[in-house]
Amino acid sequence: MIPLTPPLQRLILTTAWSISLLIAVAAPGAYFLVSHQNLRTVLESQAELAVDAVSRIVAENPKLWRFEEARLSELLQRRAQDGVPERKRILNTTGDVIAGNNVTAPSPLASYSLDIYDAGTSVANLEVSRSMRPLLNMTLLVAACSSIIALLLFFIFRTLPIRIITKALQALEENEKKYRLLYETMKEGVALHRMDFDEKGELHSLTVIDANPSCAAMFDGNLDRVIGSNSYELFGDTFREFLSERHTQEQGDSIMFELCLPGTDDYYSVHVFSPDRGLIATLFEDVTERRKSEQQIQHMAFFDRLTELPNRTLFFDRLNQAIANGNRECSNLAVLFLDLDRFKNINDTLGHDAGDQLLIEVSQRLLRHIRNTDTLARMGGDEFVFVITGTGEQLNAAHVARKLTDSFQAPFLIKGRELHVTSSIGIALFPENGSNAETLLKNADQAMYHAKKSGRNAFKFYTPHRS
């Protein structure tokens, strides 16, 4: 059993005594006050009835009514409806008894009196009294019963809270062990941060005050490196960016973001919430593999698997961006469509592996002859397309095409054999030969076929009359 602290024991004992004492005193006190008030009400009612009867005798014989003692005594002999003995007396203005009902009531007495008037002048006083002994005896009985009940309640309030609190503490301790075990064995990293404020009340920094082993594993299992560290320095600028304004949010709110752990290639999804005022809790889920998979899927969606060049989808996206920029800045661009000459013969004689290796070598050589701002993409097979921005006259596009054609003069070394390869290039200019991506590509393709028909190893500009 978990022992209770002395302050808690004293609090329970004081509360039990207070409740018991309140019951022991309040019950008989309340009974006495209510019963005494009821007694006064009865005495007042009896006095009014008797005064009304005596007043009629006074009105009939205003001079001699004092001498009609027998008649007055007979009037006062009338008993109350509840049958409780009560003493009734008529006193003159000097306090002498004129008449009475000869009833003796044990002391102490509760009395009530009313004046008797004759022509508006008080001529006597009528007093009605009852013994308070029955009320006091009943009050003592109520006090005895309430004391017994109070004593019983004292033991109940003394022992029951202790048992309840002890069980609650035991349950709390068990839950704490359970959640601590879960906290220490969970796969996600968890860290608790203390908010540090400056003199102006602004959030100055965060300090890690607790972390589980999974969080320590993010830093080679060094828990001492984590606890006590500045959270911003430990988790990097992205963490600082999202957490710097966290203290302005309401308790219970949460935010989520991703960060790359400084000095690593590891990515984590971070869930942030405030468990209490002045504290921030962070849950770190390792999403490195998921992020790599997403990046790989995205790369496969926009890049050619063989040459790692942009594919048709990314090419059209870049070309549309270049067209939009050209419309905005009134600038020109050129689309070049390059096709290898007699590539099918290489595949048929040396095999597809050699053909694939040649495509890789060709793509790498072509990349060396364009700017970083230009785009080279593989459309499929042995077809390559270029987006050359910032071209002026035809001579500029021709200069690029000539460099690309000349780059094929050196042979390609494929599987120990030197291969001499040539290419044919078709050129379409924006905006002269088309205002959208599809038209430019189609016209560059037609110009490329014209170059092949003209003897290959050449480049040709698109001209409408040839289409």
Among 156-170, 253-267, 403-417, top mean pLDDT goes to 403-417
Rounded CA-CA distance 90/252 in Å is: 81
Burial of 373 (0-12, 13-18, 19+ CB in 10 A): exposed
Which CATH fold topology does 303-466 show? Answer: Alpha-Beta Plaits (3.30.70)
User: Length of the chain in residues, anyone?
Assistant: 467
Find out whether 87 and 81 touch, Cβ atoms under 8 Å.
no
The predicted structure's pLDDT at residue 367 = 95
Task: Please check the confidence at residue 219 and state whether its pLDDT lies above 90.
Answer: no
Find out whether 133 and 15 touch, Cβ atoms under 8 Å.
no
The predicted structure's pLDDT at residue 104 = 80
Task: Please check the confidence at residue 113 and state whether its pLDDT lies above 90.
Answer: no
> pTM above 0.75?
no
The predicted structure's pLDDT at residue 61 = 76
CATH 3.10.28.10 fits 189-290, yes or no: no
The predicted structure's pLDDT at residue 167 = 80
Task: Name which residue leads in pLDDT, 175 or 138.
Answer: 138
Task: Please check the confidence at residue 282 and state whether its pLDDT lies above 80.
Answer: yes
Q: For residue 73, what pLDDT band results from cuts at 50, 70 and 90?
A: confident
CATH 3.30.450 fits 25-134, yes or no: yes
Q: Do the bridges between strand 383-391 and strand 332-340 make them parallel or antiparallel, or are there none, so unpaired?
A: antiparallel
Find out whether 262 and 236 touch, Cβ atoms under 8 Å.
yes
DSSP assignment of 109-166 equals: EEEEEEEEEETTEEEEEEEEEEESHHHHHHHHHHHHHHHHHHHHHHHHHHHHHHHHHH
Where exactly does CATH 3.30.450.20 map onto the chain? 189-290
CA nearest to 206, candidates 175, 165, 240, 163: 240
Give the rounded percent of residues in the chain with a pLDDT score beyond 90: 34
For residue 438, what is the enclosing H or E element? helix 437-453
Looking at residues 336-363, what average pLDDT do you find?
Answer: 94
Q: What is the pLDDT of residues 1-25, one digit of tens each?
A: 556 677 877 777 788 788 888 888 8
Rounded CA-CA distance 269/392 in Å is: 48
Where exactly does CATH 3.30.70.270 map onto the chain? 303-466
